[in-house]
Amino acid sequence: MTAGARSDRRSDGEWADRYRNRWTWDKVTFGSHSVDCYPGGCSWRVFSKDGKVIREEQSAISTPVEAGIPDMNPMGCQKGACWSHCHYSPDRVTKPLKRVGERGEGKFEEVSWDEALSAIGEAMIDAIEDQGAESIISLLTPEFGAIPARIFSDILGTPSTDGNAEFQDFSPGWHVTWGLFNPTATMDDWFLADLTLIWHANPVYTNIHWYHYLAEARYNGGEVVTIAPDYSPSATHADYHQPIRIGTDAALALAMCKVIIDAGIYKKQFVQEQTDLPLLVRKDNDRFLRGNEVMEGDREDQFFWWDTLAGTLAPAPRHTLATTGVDPALEGSFQATLKDGSTVEVEPVFARLRRHLEQYTPERAGEICEIHPDNIRKLARKVATRKTKIFIGWNSGKYYHGDLMERAMALLLGLTGNWGKKGTGTRSWAVMGMDGNVFMSRKEGPGQEAAQKHIAGLIAMRRLVASTDPTMTLEMIQNRVAEQAVELGGMGNTMPPAFLWYHQCGYKERWDDPENNDPSMKRSFSEYLKEATDKGWWDESYAKAYETVEPRVLFEAGGNILRRQRGGQKMLLKHLWPKLKMIVSVDYRLSTTGLFSDYVLPAAQHYEKLGNSMPSIHHLNWVLCDRAVEPLDQSLPDWEIGVRLLEKIEAAARKRGMKDYVDRKGVTRSLENLADRATQGGVLRDEEKRMDEYLRDNAVYGVLPKGSNLETLREKGQVRFTNWGMVGHGISQASTIRPDEVHNPLRWHTEDKVPYDTLVRRAQYYIDHEWFLEAEEALPTHKEPPNHGGANRRFMMTSGHNRWSIHSMNLTNNIIQNTHRGEPFVFLNDKDAAELGIENGEQVKMVSNAGEMLISAKLTPSCRPGQVIVYNGFEPYMHENWYSQADIEPGHIKHLGLVGNYGQLKYRPLSWQPIPADRAVRVDVEKVG
């Protein structure tokens, strides 16, 4: 042992060597966690000794990107710091398990891989014969490391539920406004904001490895304001905390918009150029004035403004946002002559907006939001005059009217010119650079020449798509290709699960319950759904298939649907489970879903296999998870599980003489050579070869620096992306990656005047779809959350991600359990609790019209009176009776999510679709016994 300068002999003894020896190792590897941790991307050093992982420590290898901005070190949180503990913890599963008792009883016997996979392969072929391939449902759980286990869905073309509805991390308001929901800056860009509004987010819990940029932005002279119902943990480091009545955020944003417009301090040129606010709307029918109404043969999606310089109606250019030579009117009322010679009154959206905002005076909004009107005025002026960023998570999108909240926030940013430049904008999730992985089985052979050919083919296809319209932008081409992939059954056949839930999981009754619905709906949910499917808005998305197809196989890899499902496990266990002949859980641990599965397949842990951490745009790094030790016992890397399963599916089909099947999209799909197709004829079967190919191909695709391969990544641990690639949300950043700059999205729009991929090709605040007009939601507006959960209940449950776990996966880690209460709990305001006679730590019952659960009460004055917060993730089996938070959430869907025939409101994977709501659920809290 090479000791440093030790002068005091008293620390030379055997007692001290005991400690010194504990901190030794024989191997160091780079590692991370290829899990659904977003933004993730932490690079760790994994220290092992005698073939066992002993601990991990953040590698802290990030180099500064832009001068004058703090570096990203040392990325990694407490979950990561004890991940090694999960490798050897009692909930680890290391042998294939077959259920021998009733589902959920937890009685299993250990079986061989061969037996387990054969049974699953047979069940899949049974399902294809019985109900068709659409009866094999994979759940799109975004744990990156687990995705290869379900490669069969990609190779066979069986459907995967779209994760954006499964886990609801969608920002519908961003999508409505920009045609994309995931413009996302890198985290170091937060440092540059002069004003940060932490709104619908709690980064102190959820961005532990990144939070420092907010604290540092403040030390750099920026101001931080939190807006939340409760005094959230993230408020502790804010300059101002603005408490707000639950679910009223749109009213606050709109009142700020009113203040800004009334004071004339909006950014006029930004508004004219970047937004639809100058576009003309007909007063007779509230619809945009359209080209085919003005001139025979003109486009339906040509829109107009009034040029005040020329004093004429003029088409708003579709190919650029530049307003060179024109001054589009924002106010006034004008006459437009239609092609039949008649005239109609038209006015800019801005003029309508100004009238619409009359109802949002700071005084009125102050009453709605329970905020002092002066606070609204002051904050509005700050937003209008400073580089402002809305730090938001995926909380707003989980509100029933979260679309309206986000549209109102986007309006606030648009009026103040706060996007498309450093230190501004908002936030969502975005991943990128998976091209090498996704294209691996699609290119014509192994090797980088095949990759070059593949990319050439893709570029040619994109040119073809673009040839239909010379004004198409890169974003538009990318999105059209994704939409076509849905139609053709590509992209692993991703489907919006709402229709499956409605027809096969018992949700019809619940969604038709008027108590859960918005009072502005003129018809039942079912009638809206029928109209949407009858009109073919979701034809490519299995909207009708599940009217008849009964699911037979459910395949969950790396996820825990019985914890996650909005609407609760009861819906699934009652309605879906009895139809299923085979339920599979691939996991390294026994989750609640595992306990209700027919087979549990043991996956290797994250230091036992090759992978990469969430390739998030928040950090822009490709981060290696290396194999530090061999998989424990019989556990296998997910990739190996996936390929072995393909072999068994292939064998089962061969036994029955089945060579192929035709799916409901009419595509003939081969059941032969499945494993070979996934592995390029076996060449890429080996995990190391596959990873090396992924990296080398990524270099070919321009995503990673030239020369990248497994060896270079093992030296460096991580490497910064060089370009967006085609797979993921790179191009929808609409900005260029610069090697020495932080990334801020939408700069192609603000700097290069490239149009947006919305119906009107501008940031769109006015949605003239008939359903939106009927709901009086053409413009962003405020609506109260519906009575989902039940009218006349005392509390609203808000919730959010917890501090201690990524979903449920760390909540059974004994180290982590000891850092909180070690049992599920609900935060309750101390005075509310006193009125109900509830003590701190007492078990209580939480009740809604969807169900009930038992949980321990935790009292705090930080919780808003009338609010309850259950930070989510607790395993159902941590609760008495196993009912958890999701079981009191009705899982209701806003009917406007069913719109599918309007510009950007069209399905493509991980994007616009019907999404359940689980925030502001109305509940009661009762003493037990």
Partner 1 sequence: MGNTTESKRQLAWVFDLNKCTGCQTCSVACRVLWNDGEQGADHQWWMTVNTKPGAGTPKDWEKMGGGYDAQGNPQLGHLPSPEEFGGGWDYNYDEVLRGGGGRSVHLKKTAGSQSWGMNWDEDEGGGEFPNAYFFYLPRLCNHCSEPSCVEACPSGALFKREEDGLVLRDETQCGGSQDCARACPYKKVYFNEARKVSQHCIGCFPRLEQGVAPACVRQCPGRAAFVGFLDDEASYVHKLVKKWEVALPLHPEMGTKPNVYYVPPLSPAPLREDGSYDEGGNRIPPSYLEDLFGNRVHGAMDVLRTELDAKRRGRDSELMDLLILYRWEDCLGHLSRDPAEIVWE
Q: Which residues inside 348-407 make contact with partner 1, applying CB under 8 A?
A: 366, 370-372, 374-375
Distance CA 224, CA 195 (A): 6
| 40 binding partner 1? (CB under 8 A) | no
| 8 binding partner 1? (CB under 8 A) | yes
| 843 binding partner 1? (CB under 8 A) | no
Q: List the one residue from 98, 111, 129, 218 that touches partner 1 (CB under 8 A).
A: 218
**347 φ/ψ angles, rounded to the nearest 5 degrees:** -150, 155
Q: Which of 692, 659, 690 has the alpha carbon at shortest distance from 674?
A: 659
| 208 binding partner 1? (CB under 8 A) | yes
Q: Find the shortest distance in angstroms from Cβ 13 to partner 1.
A: 6
Q: Find the shortest distance in angstroms from Cβ 566 to partner 1.
A: 21
Considering CB under 8 A, how many residues would be counted as binding partner 1?
116
Distance CA 16, CA 276 (A): 70
Q: Find the shortest distance in angstroms from Cβ 382 to partner 1.
A: 12
Distance CA 387, CA 537 (A): 40
Window contacting partner 1 (CB under 8 A); options: 512-520, 694-702, 726-734, 876-884 = 876-884
Tokens of 654: 């061969």
Burial of 448 (0-12, 13-18, 19+ CB in 10 A): middle
Q: List the one residue from 354, 381, 665, 858 that touches partner 1 (CB under 8 A).
A: 858
If the CB atoms of residues 216 and 926 are measured against partner 1, the closer one turns out to be 216
List the helix and strand counts (H, then E) for the chain.
34, 35
Beta strand ranges found along 376-484 (DSSP E): 388-391
Residues 742-771 that bind partner 1 (CB under 8 A): none
Q: Find the shortest distance in angstroms from Cβ 821 to partner 1.
A: 6
The structure tokens 């066979």 sit at 156
| 292 binding partner 1? (CB under 8 A) | no
Burial of 221 (0-12, 13-18, 19+ CB in 10 A): exposed
Residues 16-35 that bind partner 1 (CB under 8 A): 16, 18-20, 22-26, 28
| 490 binding partner 1? (CB under 8 A) | no
CA distances from 897 to 103, 215, 408, 503, 893 (A): 34, 37, 17, 17, 8
| 815 binding partner 1? (CB under 8 A) | yes
Window contacting partner 1 (CB under 8 A); options: 63-71, 306-314, 693-701, 907-915 = 63-71
Q: Which of 811, 802, 806 has the alpha carbon at shortest distance from 614?
A: 806
Window contacting partner 1 (CB under 8 A); options: 131-139, 217-225, 534-542, 843-851 = 217-225
| 485 binding partner 1? (CB under 8 A) | no
If the CB atoms of residues 333 and 881 are measured against partner 1, the closer one turns out to be 881
The structure tokens 């069969």 sit at 152
Window contacting partner 1 (CB under 8 A); options: 84-92, 169-177, 392-400, 485-493 = 84-92
Q: Which of 865, 847, 846 has the alpha carbon at shortest distance from 857?
A: 846
If the CB atoms of residues 228 and 316 are measured against partner 1, the closer one turns out to be 228
| 212 binding partner 1? (CB under 8 A) | yes
If the CB atoms of residues 18 and 706 are measured against partner 1, the closer one turns out to be 18
Tokens of 753: 């005047």
Tokens of 641: 């599980």
| 233 binding partner 1? (CB under 8 A) | yes
Residues 795-814 that bind partner 1 (CB under 8 A): 803, 812, 814
| 271 binding partner 1? (CB under 8 A) | no
SS3 category, 203: helix
How far does the chain reach from its first CA to its final CA, in angstroms? 62
Find out whether the peptide bond into 39 is cis, omega within 30 degrees of 0: yes
If the CB atoms of residues 3 and 460 are measured against partner 1, the closer one turns out to be 3
Q: List the one residue from 131, 161, 428, 829 that touches partner 1 (CB under 8 A).
A: 829
Q: Which of 96, 270, 276 has the alpha carbon at shortest distance from 641?
A: 96
Let me know how long the chain is: 929
CA distances from 299 to 139, 302, 303, 607, 711 (A): 40, 5, 9, 56, 54
Q: Find the shortest distance in angstroms from Cβ 238 to partner 1.
A: 5
Edge-to-edge strand order for the sheet containing 223-228? Answer: 240-243, 223-228, 195-199, 388-391
If the CB atoms of residues 293 and 875 are measured against partner 1, the closer one turns out to be 875
Q: Which of 609, 598, 607 has the alpha carbon at shortest distance from 642?
A: 609
| 241 binding partner 1? (CB under 8 A) | yes
List Cβ neighbours of 87 (8 Å cut-off, separation of 6 or more).
53, 605, 607, 608, 632
Q: Find the shortest distance in angstroms from Cβ 597 to partner 1.
A: 13
If the CB atoms of residues 71 and 331 are measured against partner 1, the closer one turns out to be 71
Distance CA 754, CA 471 (A): 10
Q: Find the shortest distance in angstroms from Cβ 365 to partner 1.
A: 12
Q: List the one residue from 542, 877, 907, 912 that touches partner 1 (CB under 8 A).
A: 877
Q: List the one residue from 556, 875, 889, 924 that touches partner 1 (CB under 8 A).
A: 875
Cβ–Cβ under 8 Å, residues 139 and 161: yes
| 77 binding partner 1? (CB under 8 A) | yes
Distance CA 720, CA 736 (A): 14
If the CB atoms of residues 6 and 535 are measured against partner 1, the closer one turns out to be 6
| 14 binding partner 1? (CB under 8 A) | yes
Residues 538-597 that bind partner 1 (CB under 8 A): 590, 595
Q: List the one residue from 129, 216, 327, 647 that touches partner 1 (CB under 8 A).
A: 216
Q: List the one residue from 98, 104, 313, 709 that touches partner 1 (CB under 8 A).
A: 104
| 836 binding partner 1? (CB under 8 A) | no
Q: List the one residue from 32, 34, 48, 59 that touches partner 1 (CB under 8 A).
A: 59
If the CB atoms of residues 203 and 567 are measured against partner 1, the closer one turns out to be 203
| 794 binding partner 1? (CB under 8 A) | no
- DSSP letter assigned to residue 62: P
Distance CA 218, CA 212 (A): 10
| 668 binding partner 1? (CB under 8 A) | no
